[in-house]
A = this chain, B = another copy of it.
Amino acid sequence: MNAVAKTFSQEGDYKIADIALADWGRKELDIAEHEMPGLMSIRRKHATTKPLAGVRVTGSLHMTIQTAVLIETLKDIGADVRWASCNIFSTQDQAAAAIAATGTPVFAWKGETLEEYWDCTLDALTFTLPDGTLTGPQLVVDDGGDVTLLIHKGYELEQGDDSWVNSASGSHEEQVIKNLLKRVAVERPGYWTRVVADWKGVSEETTTGVHRLYQLAEQGKLLIPAINVNDSVTKSKFDNLYGCRESLADGLKRAMDVMLAGKVAVVCGYGDVGKGSAASLRNYGARVIVTEIDPICALQAAMEGYEVNTVESTLGRADIYVTTTGNKDIITAAHMQAMKDQAIVCNIGHFDNEIQVDALKALPGLVHTNIKPQVDKYTFANGNSIFLLAEGRLVNLGCATGHPSFVMSNSFANQTLAQIDLWANKDSYENKVYILPKHLDEEVARLHLEKIGVKLTTLTRDQADYLGVPVEGPYKPDHYRY
């Protein structure tokens, strides 16, 4: 039974669960390095040139073992790094400890409150210049866009627009952010303006965070150049798809030890995350029903032999629900009340609003039983119960340890290349959203082949000319879908 960190240790410039876990974390880091050839290769390549030498980098990204290897890669190529997690449940405490033990400031533990979470984000943002001045990062590694949101909202407030900060509506989490910004406004006048002045760019790796960035850019509000790491092929078609194919079942198993064979499972959404999730459940012998709004994705699901239907049509016959959409209100409180007794409900999309957790908790007559951390049973007035995992947050990170190292090496190699690219082009990039060029995408893939014994074929010159591509690539037009 994993313990929820109720407190944190803070001997140095970090807030973590327990620095004594550092040794264990370091052993797992050693293992992970063997599984992350992309990052290790980047370290070797830039060992002497140090392209991020002295650059202040803030990361807001699940503080796992894999992320620890990313952090040490960024440091290895010169960066001055501070880190927070981007989810209250996703930290592996031994990973945070191993990083803290090396003197890198890290602010993350498994089981933060929302208030603690946003304080950690601020801590990770806050660099101190030699003269004691508080400043911010020059580059941001973002996952879900929380750092980007915080800076933009803080800057907006300092620009005199306090409409959002003073608005009444919004979720509990939104209120936490508003309170934080009001506090900073008092404690650090002009802070966000100084931060923005130095900020040169952000790389973002989630579908959801990227969506936010495109919206900002369309509205003309984006303050810095951004690189959309998510849409590198070696990110979205690997991490999202193959990562979830491994980590969803892992989360379900560690949380519930449930037999998947013979169960009816509903996967809401058939994007890359949904595709990986559905494949995993089917492979275990579950009968999977997919829900979709997009006719193309729906037709793909049908071609793979899935029933495609609405959530409503599954109530009473499905045992497991997984949301993967990036949208909100996918599983409503009313849905949950109508489910089969003992149904399991979880989310593997970025945000926790896919499932109406607040509305669930507000149902009259509801009885709550905590089974163990991140596993809660809710019993309705009608006598039926459901199990909600990780309070509706990412089940693979909340109930297991997230995606395995090898696939994250692809994502994080993209992140690292994006950081290098942003810094190298800091004087030329505009405040819009860029995608890494295809030759880098292919390079990331190439770095991972040897580890798993792949032997590539090489084009002859004659064949390359016939295709009209360079022998060494890139090989595909930009619109190619893989």
A contact residues vs B (CB 8 Å cutoff): 1-2, 21, 24, 27-28, 31, 34-35, 65, 94, 211, 214-215, 231, 233-234, 236-238, 242, 245-246, 249-250, 253-254, 256-264, 272, 280, 282-288, 291-311, 313, 317, 326-329, 341-342, 369, 371-372, 377, 387, 400-401, 403-407, 410, 435, 441-443, 445-446, 448-449, 452-460, 462-463, 466-468, 473, 475-479, 481-482
Asked whether A456 and B262 contact (CB < 8 A) given A327-B463, A328-B466, the answer is no
In the complex, are the beta carbons of A294 and B34 less than 8 A apart? no
Identity of the chain B residue whose Cβ is nearest the Cβ of A249 in the assembled complex: B249
Chain B residues near A326 (CB, 8 Å)? 467
Choose among B34, B303, B477 the residue that contacts A261 (Cβ–Cβ < 8 A).
B303
In the complex, are the beta carbons of A294 and B245 less than 8 A apart? no
- Can you name 7 extra interface pairs (CB under 8 A) apart from A28-B257, A262-B305, A283-B284? A231-B481, A262-B303, A293-B459, A296-B441, A300-B482, A302-B449, A308-B456
In the complex, are the beta carbons of A233 and B479 less than 8 A apart? no
Asked whether A253 and B400 contact (CB < 8 A) given A407-B261, A442-B294, the answer is yes
In the complex, are the beta carbons of A308 and B468 less than 8 A apart? no
In the complex, are the beta carbons of B302 and A452 less than 8 A apart? yes
Chain B residues near A254 (CB, 8 Å)? 254
Choose among B245, B285, B327, B435 the residue that contacts A284 (Cβ–Cβ < 8 A).
B245
- Chain copies in the assembled complex: 4
In the complex, are the beta carbons of B407 and A467 less than 8 A apart? no
In the complex, are the beta carbons of A296 and B27 less than 8 A apart? no
Chain B residues near A214 (CB, 8 Å)? 477
In the complex, are the beta carbons of A457 and B31 less than 8 A apart? no
In the complex, are the beta carbons of B258 and A242 less than 8 A apart? no
CB distance from A204 to the nearest CB of B (A): 14
Chain B residues near A236 (CB, 8 Å)? 481
Chain B residues near A463 (CB, 8 Å)? 327-329
Chain B residues near A310 (CB, 8 Å)? 455, 457
In the complex, are the beta carbons of A215 and B296 less than 8 A apart? no
Chain B residues near A457 (CB, 8 Å)? 291-293, 310-311
Choose among B34, B94, B300 the residue that contacts A1 (Cβ–Cβ < 8 A).
B94
Identity of the chain B residue whose Cβ is nearest the Cβ of A294 in the assembled complex: B475
Identity of the chain B residue whose Cβ is nearest the Cβ of A264 in the assembled complex: B453
Q: Tell me the complex Cα distance, A331–B264, Å.
A: 27
Chain B residues near A286 (CB, 8 Å)? 305
Choose among B280, B300, B327, B460 the residue that contacts A329 (Cβ–Cβ < 8 A).
B460
Q: Tell me the complex Cα distance, A361–B385, Å.
A: 50
In the complex, are the beta carbons of B482 and A256 less than 8 A apart? no
Q: Tell me the complex Cα distance, A295–B438, Å.
A: 11
Shortest beta-carbon contacts, A-B, top 5: A283-B283, A259-B404, A259-B406, A295-B445, A295-B446
Choose among B94, B262, B467 the residue that contacts A452 (Cβ–Cβ < 8 A).
B262
CB distance from A237 to the nearest CB of B (A): 6
Q: Tell me the complex Cα distance, A236–B233, Å.
A: 17
Choose among B257, B377, B435, B456 the residue that contacts A295 (Cβ–Cβ < 8 A).
B456
CB distance from A99 to the nearest CB of B (A): 17
CB distance from A281 to the nearest CB of B (A): 9
CB distance from A462 to the nearest CB of B (A): 7
In the complex, are the beta carbons of A467 and B327 less than 8 A apart? yes
Chain B residues near A65 (CB, 8 Å)? 257
